[in-house]
Structure 1
Amino acid sequence: MSSAGRRARRAALVVLAGAALTGLLAVTAATAAPVGAPERAAAAARTDVYIKDVPTDVGLEPHTLEPLWASPDIKVCPTAIECATSQNPIVGVTNYVFVKLRNPGPYGSGTSSGVLRVYRTTPGGGATWPTHWTQIGAVNVIAAAGVTTVTVPWTGVPGPGHFCLTARWESSTDPMTFEGPDIHTNTRYNNNIAWRNVDSVRLTPSAPPVVRPFAIGNTLTVPSRNDLVFTAAESLRNVGGRVVVDLGPELFERWRAGGAVGTNVRAVGRTQVEIVEPAKASLGNLQLNPGERVEFSLLFSAEAPFEREIALNVAQFGPDNSGAKRADLGGVQYLISAGRQ
């Protein structure tokens, strides 16, 4: 072979070797991370843990079930052993909030890890999220298939011991679908948020009234007009019960300035309005300023004993941030009974 031929052959081998090395480097770069660089984790599968808003809730979001604020999956007990029915917290000592996490819901599968947080606020409606809510506690949880009951200690419960509670399941694989200032909208659109406002009222016949705090609020950036609505399956008057709303001087004057609008109510004092028919009554046209939340009192009394519980729902209705003109902005279910002296 001539010297020219040998040079051509060596050049061809160099080209082939270079091409092979380039291909090897390309394959290696595609299958191995650089030294010292973290490996990219595979995307986690979507999980879906839900907390029931009402007994028939199966985790669909949004839904039209009512009331949103009486979740059966949130319970308050005086000890670390779960009680049969939720109780009012005892002021000044450690109580326990039990929350049931249900897995899976309709939008995911598999074991889910996250944090369960529980918050409190004054009973009533119109509580702006997160401004009006105070965290009670948080627990890290791994939620396997089925129902996981989580216990959240509630230390040093402040007086008067009557609160609305909300539970939130926060997980990177089970994100919130929507969040805004309206807690009722957040609850309706997220199956990992639940809300419980249930208060037991035990009366003594002919004794002074039992007082409960209640608040109504406006989450909008403009003034709004709101209604306070009372509903019950059975009238308290049939068993000698009585309900009086003490609006306080300012809110009472706003009610009068708005035309003293109401159904089955009557003014009985300088700041008080009696609910004449507690099974179905309302106070209307209550004006609230932007971002305002006003607290007042409900006074319950009984003339005679009645052992069976009567459930009275008191709710605020008004405009919300979704554009609805009349939405349920929250309320409280009062379980009322009167024992013998």
Structure 2
Amino acid sequence: MGDLEKRVRRTVFVVLTGAALVGLLTITAATAAPATARSEKSIAADRTDVYIKDVAADTGVQPHSYNPLWASPDIKVCPTAIECAVSQNPIVGVTNYVFVKLRNPGPYGSGPSTGTLRLYRTTPGGGAIWPTNWTAIGAVGAVIYPGVTTVTIPWTGVPGPGHFCLLARWVSGTDPMTVEGPDINVNTRYNNNIAWRNVDSVRLVPGKPVVRPFAIGNALKERAFSDLVFTAQQPLQDIGGRVIVDLGKDLFERWQAGGKVGTEVRQVGETQLELLEPSKAVLGNLLLNPGERLEFSIVFSAQAPTDKEIAFEVTQFGPDSTGEKRADLGGVQYLISAGKDDQ
């Protein structure tokens, strides 16, 4: 064999060997793809899903359309470390206990979930901006196994006047938030591991008015108008009930500038408006600046006792961060009862 022929054969061998190696690498890469896919599936399999009910019918699907989403049945305040039958207003200055029910699994994962339950408070009302308007109460680490687990968080040194909106957040690396921005109503509706409770018991005695704080806010980056809508399950007139909204100087001037838009209301003081029919009243065109939250007062009174508890709701409606023009931005359910003066 001549030198030329030997060189040609060596060249052919190198070319064929290179092609074979390329082919081998291509096959290896192709056969590696399923391994990567299996890894992704493994990660997906680790996804857990713990949820807290926003309403009784809530099954953990996010987002949902249930309302009001700010009266979670899974958050309860009790005066002792033993869970009470019905949630109560916190007692100022002492240690109260908040019981939160965590449900596992929801529709988006399975298996035990390790994380931290965090609890926050703010002034009752709507438009509470996350996290600006919220104050931490406490946090507890836990492992949530399949079923319903009740986690208890002590609430020490409750400040006066003792009326708050509460927010519970289950934070877990395997159960991430879907979306979380400044708009708390959107956060609650789109994350089944966030729940919000704003229920206040109002015990009236004939002739003795009771005052409750209420706040409205704007989580958007531009000015926006909001409405306050008042509803009741039964007429407050049954107990000679009277409701007066004291907007305060700033908010009253904004209501005036907005055209004094209102239904079933009349002015009874410099900044006070009486609800003539509390179950049908509306205050509209309240202008709020970006990131602003303003507080005012609601005054309740009754003339007669009753054995029944009347649910009276105040809700803020306005635009939210999803583009909805008239969204439920939050509110308060007042559970009104009226007893005798000697009780």
Interval of TM-score (by shorter of Structure 1 and Structure 2): 0.7 to 0.9
Which residue number corresponds to residue 57 of structure 2? 56
CA distance in 1, matches of 2:322, 2:44: 33
Aligned-partner Cα distance in 2 for 1:139–1:44 = 26
Alignment of 1:178 onto 2:193: no
| Residue aligning to 2:101 | 100
Q: Alpha-carbon deviation of 1:84?
A: 0.3
The equivalent residue for 1:302 is 302
- 2:333 is equivalent to residue 333 of structure 1: yes
Compute the displacement of 1:307 (Å).
2.1
The alpha carbon displacement at 1:42 in A equals 7.3
RMSD between aligned residues: 1.1
The amino acid that maps onto 1:163 is F
How far apart in 2 are the matches of 1:233 and 1:339?
19
Distance 2:237 2:130 in 1: 36
Is the Cα–Cα contact under 8 Å of residues 166 and 197 in structure 2 kept in the other structure? yes
Question: 1:44 deviation in Å?
Answer: 6.5
Q: CA deviation at 1:249?
A: 1.0
CA contact (8 A) 1:263 1:281 kept: yes
Q: Could you tell me which residue of structure 1 aligns to residue 236 of structure 2? A: 236
2:292 alignment partner in structure 1: 292
Q: Which moved more, 1:234-243 or 1:100-109?
A: 234-243
1:189-338 equivalences under 5 Å are: 189-207=190-208, 209-338=209-338
Contact 1:164 1:197 in 2 (8 A): yes
Q: Which is further off, 301-310 or 195-204?
A: 301-310
Q: 1:265 to 1:43 in 2, by over 3 A?
A: closer
For residues 150-203 of structure 1, the C-alpha deviation after alignment (integer angstroms, 9 at most, x for no partner) is 000000001110000010001111100111111100000000000000000000
Seen in structure 2, the aligned counterparts of structure 1 residues 60 and 42 have a Cα distance that, compared at 3 Å, is: closer
Q: Which amino acid aligns with 1:59?
A: G
Within-5 A mapping of 1:125-144? 125-144=126-145
TM-score (norm 2): 0.86
Aligned to 1:47: 48
Distance 1:338 1:307 in 2: 7
Report the counterpart of residue 80 of structure 2 in structure 1.
Answer: 79
2:147 partner amino acid: G
The more displaced of 82-91 and 316-325 is 316-325
Distance in 1 (CA, whole Å) between partners of 2:60 and 2:45 is 21
Paired residue for 1:33? none
Q: What displacement does 1:46 show?
A: 0.7
- Quote the Cα distance in structure 2 between the aligned partners of 1:164 and 1:248: 21
* 1:133-154 alpha-carbon deviations (Å, 9 max, x no partner): 0110000010011000000000
What amino acid sits opposite 1:173 in the alignment?
A: T
Q: In structure 1, what is the equivalent of residue 16 of structure 2?
A: none
Instruction: Work out the CA distance in 2 between the residues paired with 1:254 and 1:183.
Output: 24
2:31 aligns to what? none
Q: 1:305, 1:95 → 2: CA distance? A: 29
Deviations 1:299-329 (A, max 9, x none): 0000111121000010100111111111110
Q: Contact 2:51–2:193 at 8 Å: present in 1 too?
A: yes
Q: Secondary structure at the match of 2:320?
A: coil
Q: Which residue in the other structure is 2:112 paired with?
A: 111
Could you tell me how far 1:235 is from its partner in structure 2? 1.2
- Asked if 1 retains the 8 angstrom alpha-carbon contact of 2:125 and 2:332, the reply is yes
Give the Cα–Cα distance (whole angstroms) in 2 for the partners of residues 142 and 83 of structure 1: 23
CA distance in 1, matches of 2:44, 2:177: 18
CA distance in 2, matches of 1:291, 1:128: 7
Displacement, 1:59? 0.5
1:203-262 Cα deviation digits (max 9, x unpaired): 00012x100000001111111111000011111023211110000011111111111101
Tell me what 1:69 maps to.
70
When the two structures are aligned, how many residues end up with a matched partner? Answer: 300
Q: Percent identity?
A: 74
**Amino acid in the other structure paired with 1:269:** G
Structure 1 unpaired stretches of 5+: 1-40
Relative to structure 1, the CA distance from residue 42 to residue 199 in structure 2 (aligned partners, 3 Å threshold; closer, same or farther) is: closer
* 1:43/1:266 CA distance change after superposition, 3 Å: closer
1:338 alignment partner AA: A
> SS of 1:280's equivalent?
coil
TM-score normalised over the length of structure 1: 0.87
Q: Which runs of 4+ in 1 moved over 6 A?
A: 41-44
Change (3 A) 1:42 1:303: closer
Tell me, yes or no, if structure 1 residue 147 matches structure 2 residue 148.
Answer: yes
Counterpart Cα distance in 1 of 2:162 and 2:44: 44
> 1:24 is matched with which residue?
none
Cα distance in 2 between the residues matched to 1:103 and 1:305: 43
Confirm or deny that 1:123 pairs with 2:158.
Answer: no
Amino acid at match of 2:249: P
Task: Check the 8 A contact 1:44/1:173 in 2, yes or no.
Answer: no
**Any conservation in 1 of the 2:45–2:109 contact (CA below 8 Å)?**
no
Q: Alignment partner of 2:283: what SS?
A: strand
